[in-house]
Structure 1
Amino acid sequence: MSDQARLTTREAAERLGVKPETVYAYVSRGQLSSERAPGGRGSTFDAEEVDALARRSGRREPGTGGAPGGDFTFRTGITLIDRDRYYFRGVDAVELATAYGFEEVAEWVWTGELTHGSRFTAPQPFLDAARLAVNALPVHSSTMDRLRGAAVAVSAADPLRFDLGPSAVLGCGRMLIPTLVGALPTAGKRHRGEGRTAWQLWHRLTPQLPDEQSIRLLDTALALLIDHDLAASTLAARVAASARAHPYAVVSAGLGALEGPLHGAASGLAHRTLTEVLERGSAAPVVADHLRSGRRVPGLGHRLYPGEDPRARALFALLEAIPQASGALAAARDVVDTTARHTALHANVDLALAVMSVAFGMPAEAGETVFAVARTAGWIAHALEEYAERPLRMRPSGHYTGPRPPRPLPA
């Protein structure tokens, strides 16, 4: 081994996410080998051996192309983000989402196998429990409130929820997604005879009747949003799965993190911006108001893509073929072009969802609803992965900054 392939005790401890004395404990147990450093001062460790131990123990690993500024990387075979594209199990996600329906892409993400014509079904007893819980909520409750309430109700109705075997978890995913959608109140007359998730969700988002183009748009949006590596909500879901929480609790953890204004709710801010642009006739005064107040312009920029978000690009291509979306699409382009005079930011998927919601008379939270339903499939995929790992492996150590003990007992 060359000296470049060896780490000091401090470097090994940092890679493992432990204290230096713990490194020597690994050596004493035979889990790690060491050599005396040149000059006899301290020990050195093989970098590959340290990284292998980090992977086995779920400790911190060295950065390997993760998100900028990220502190942890975890092995996953679900999604790869590379420059201006992303892939589901090695296949271009945009190509998958434009060629197949949401359910088929979800099955691919879960199993690595494509099931043509796949449909999800909500068992009536679970659907009744979810609707009962949702109907008991205050009238002003948000869609996210209803989704979280429905997930808890279905969990309570399933006595086998702690069966964490792959087939049981897959069955839960295929049942839970249509149950969450079916528990939401309808916004208009329902089109009967269609079992696809996109059809069922459409009637919860707008009273406008859909056509094949609009359903294809929503179906593609759902498929595109299934997963996006370890976003905040997905990390929350994996932590829950690491503790061996059942799949319903995993989804509930994801829904809780998703509701933050910096995550799933971002499309609602973009919706309101486009509405204001259409009301005022130009993006210039709207963008100026954001810049003057120090706020970011919603729907622009993504920390993982130097160029345009590929999800936005795919949805904009579909929106261009829908005449009803022309006004909202023009407003979005006006926002992008106006902002570009000050800073080079590209459209992200939140802006594309906002165009859809504005064009079809959906509420501002519609994009967040689409995001939550789609990402439920992704959380199930990550739960399947995490259940196969060592439990409770995500246990970082806190850096205590409080007063040093011992202190006297408070009076």
Structure 2
Amino acid sequence: MSDQSAASEDPRLTTREAAARLGVKPETVYAYVSRGQLSSRRAPGGRGSTFDAAEIDALARRGARREPPSGGAELVFRTGVTLIDTETDRYYYRGVDATALARRHSYEEVAEWLWTGELRAGTRFTAPPEALEAGRRAVGALPAHSTPMDRLRASAVAASAADPLRFDLSPEAVLGAARSLVPTLVGSLPASGAPDREGDGLARRLWSRLTARAPDAASLRVLETALVLLIDHDLAASTLAARIAASARAHPYAVVSAGLGALEGPLHGAASGLAHRMLAEALERGGAAPVVADHLRAGRRVPGLGHRLYRGEDPRAQALFALLADVPAAAPALAAARDVVTTAARRTGLHTNVDLALAVLSVSAGMPAEAGETLFAVARTAGWIAHALEEYAERPLRMRPSGQYTGPRPPQPLP
């Protein structure tokens, strides 16, 4: 192959050409490099840098045609887990449409594929007896008013203590811990419905922890799909917390604990509970108008509407609403959700997000308001592990921002 043909297959751009293609200043191109969004190569003769044209085009498609915040305020990490396409309002796991995966595969199958690159039909995760026993004892010792997130965190710590090999961060060991931790988290929660049976998938086992009602096939399919759709969503706050823990070489149980801690914030995992309560109130009051009015009057956002990354409807909500339409018991809650959207649209113009879809499921299935948060946490565990596997392969402790000191200038007298 001639040098000319090789160059045509791997075109390189100068800094000025890359900046023009991105629509930014040349110095901004170097800012993207320092933030890990671009790679560069020294130009022949050592004068300047060159950039891969395909990589520049991919960055442009991800919405990089704008100046990034100055002063290093934005953390950017290279990740091959999830791509969110803000132009089409779609998102992808390792380049595959996440909603298409959710329609065809179980949570365990997709999680295994995200971790290893292999999709094995019929994959089932099993909790080791000692880890499950430790998790149940820890959860059982909590006060009666403990929340599901309290129980999940206690279960993760107990499972960690039951694993003497937890500090082994080799990929094989991390995968083994992940395959056992996810079912341990679910199995440690108190069961409301029928006991687990041999061969039950994770979705069926989780259902019995969320409601005493027996699931029909359509409802169980909604839960399974929600688990897959919620596995990951780029660098949300809980995922960033998990990656920071992994950067410090915390073991996978501690990584998940870090994610759970961030997820419990009312602006993250708990958002679905707000949507549940709003939807239940709309059903009780016979319409969404007075409920939406109360939120607007109090200066509160209407739960379940709007997403910072999507201009239109959240694709996760679209997929779940389509399945919920096939669940007869969900019809009243689904109608109430549509009433909320129609009523609020007159004032806010916001579209539905996944929290409203989770609220339809939890309200119609007789689940508590915290059910969506529990579902979210269990699902996202697989995503945190996927990000941890990436971070373990990076330079340790690479996330060390500098604080901007604003206190009194020294020297100060002793207090």
Please say whether Structure 1 and Structure 2 have the same fold, judged by a TM-score greater than 0.5.
yes
Q: Which amino acid aligns with 2:174?
A: V
| Number of the residue aligned with 2:238 | 233
How far is the alpha carbon of 1:46 from its aligned partner?
Answer: 3.9
Q: Against the structure 1 CA distance between its residues 408 and 268, is the aligned structure 2 distance closer, same or farther, given a 3 Å change threshold?
A: same
| Number of the residue aligned with 2:202 | 197
Question: How big is each residue's C-alpha offset from its partner over 1:191-215, in whole Å with a ceiling of 9 and x where there is no partner?
Answer: 5344200010000000001122111
Question: How big is each residue's C-alpha offset from its partner over 1:14-47, in whole Å with a ceiling of 9 and x where there is no partner?
Answer: 9748xxxxxxxxxxxxxx999xxxxxxxxxx946
Is the CA contact 1:79–1:88 (under 8 Å) kept in the aligned structure 2? Answer: yes
Question: How big is each residue's C-alpha offset from its partner over 1:302-332, in whole Å with a ceiling of 9 and x where there is no partner?
Answer: 0111100000000000000011000000000
| Number of the residue aligned with 1:37 | none
Is the CA contact 1:147–1:180 (under 8 Å) kept in the aligned structure 2? Answer: yes
Q: Which amino acid aligns with 1:81?
A: I
Within 5 A, what are the aligned runs for 1:53-64? none
Within 5 A, what are the aligned runs for 1:181-220? 181-190=186-195, 192-220=197-225
Q: Which amino acid aligns with 1:357?
A: S
Work out which of the residue numbers 281, 295, 306 in structure 1 matches 2:300.
Answer: 295
Query: SS of the residue aligned with 1:86?
Result: strand
Work out which of the residue numbers 247, 254, 266 in structure 1 matches 2:252.
Answer: 247
Work out which of the residue numbers 389, 396, 399 in structure 2 matches 1:384.
Answer: 389
Whether 1:74 and 2:77 are equivalent positions in the alignment is yes
Query: SS of the residue aligned with 2:259?
Result: helix
Q: Which amino acid aligns with 2:409?
A: R
| Number of the residue aligned with 1:126 | 131
Distance in structure 2 (CA, Å) of the matches to 1:280 and 1:353: 20
| Number of the residue aligned with 1:280 | 285
Q: Which amino acid aligns with 1:72?
A: L
Whether 1:152 and 2:196 are equivalent positions in the alignment is no
Is the CA contact 1:131–1:184 (under 8 Å) kept in the aligned structure 2? Answer: yes
Is the CA contact 2:317–2:352 (under 8 Å) kept in the aligned structure 1? Answer: yes
Distance in structure 2 (CA, Å) of the matches to 1:94 and 1:14: 30
Is the CA contact 1:357–1:366 (under 8 Å) kept in the aligned structure 2? Answer: yes
Distance in structure 2 (CA, Å) of the matches to 1:243 and 1:62: 32
How far is the alpha carbon of 1:63 from its aligned partner?
Answer: 12
Is the CA contact 2:42–2:50 (under 8 Å) kept in the aligned structure 1? Answer: no
Whether 1:316 and 2:310 are equivalent positions in the alignment is no
Whether 1:258 and 2:256 are equivalent positions in the alignment is no
Query: SS of the residue aligned with 1:228?
Result: coil
Query: SS of the residue aligned with 1:80?
Result: strand
Distance in structure 1 (CA, Å) of the matches to 2:120 and 2:405: 50
Distance in structure 2 (CA, Å) of the matches to 1:327 and 1:213: 16
Distance in structure 2 (CA, Å) of the matches to 1:12 and 1:81: 23
How far is the alpha carbon of 1:290 from its aligned partner?
Answer: 0.4
Question: How big is each residue's C-alpha offset from its partner over 1:235-279, in whole Å with a ceiling of 9 and x where there is no partner?
Answer: 000000000000000000000000000000000000000000000
Alignment RMSD (CA, Å): 2.7
| Number of the residue aligned with 1:101 | 106
Q: Which amino acid aligns with 2:130?
A: P
Distance in structure 2 (CA, Å) of the matches to 1:174 and 1:279: 42
Distance in structure 1 (CA, Å) of the matches to 2:207 and 2:328: 18
Question: How big is each residue's C-alpha offset from its partner over 1:114-153, in whole Å with a ceiling of 9 and x where there is no partner?
Answer: 1111000001011000111000000100000000000001
Q: Against the structure 1 CA distance between its residues 47 and 235, is the aligned structure 2 distance closer, same or farther, given a 3 Å change threshold?
A: farther
Is the CA contact 1:64–1:73 (under 8 Å) kept in the aligned structure 2? Answer: no
Query: SS of the residue aligned with 2:342?
Result: helix
How far is the alpha carbon of 1:188 from its aligned partner?
Answer: 2.3
**Length-normalised TM-score, structure 2:** 0.85
Stretch moving more, 1-10 or 283-292: 1-10
Q: Which amino acid aligns with 2:189?
A: L
Is the CA contact 2:15–2:26 (under 8 Å) kept in the aligned structure 1? Answer: no
Q: Percent identity?
A: 69
Query: SS of the residue aligned with 1:346?
Result: coil
Task: Note the residue ranges of structure 1 that are not aligned, 5 or more in a row.
Answer: 18-31, 35-44, 50-60
Task: Note the residue ranges of structure 2 that are not aligned, 5 or more in a row.
Answer: 1-13, 20-24, 36-40, 52-58
Is the CA contact 1:187–1:207 (under 8 Å) kept in the aligned structure 2? Answer: yes
| Number of the residue aligned with 1:404 | 409
Query: SS of the residue aligned with 1:81?
Result: strand
Distance in structure 2 (CA, Å) of the matches to 1:144 and 1:281: 32
Q: How many residues align?
A: 377
Whether 1:270 and 2:275 are equivalent positions in the alignment is yes
Q: Which amino acid aligns with 2:142?
A: L
Question: How big is each residue's C-alpha offset from its partner over 1:36-81, in whole Å with a ceiling of 9 and x where there is no partner?
Answer: xxxxxxxxx94659xxxxxxxxxxx999647997712110000000
Query: SS of the residue aligned with 1:315?
Result: helix
Distance in structure 1 (CA, Å) of the matches to 2:31 and 2:326: 56
**Length-normalised TM-score, structure 1:** 0.86
Whether 1:117 and 2:126 are equivalent positions in the alignment is no
Q: Which amino acid aligns with 2:77?
A: F
Within 5 A, what are the aligned runs for 1:26-65? 46=48, 65=63
Work out which of the residue numbers 334, 337, 352 in structure 1 matches 2:342.
Answer: 337
Query: SS of the residue aligned with 2:403?
Result: coil
Query: SS of the residue aligned with 1:396?
Result: coil
| Number of the residue aligned with 2:4 | none
Query: SS of the residue aligned with 2:83?
Result: strand
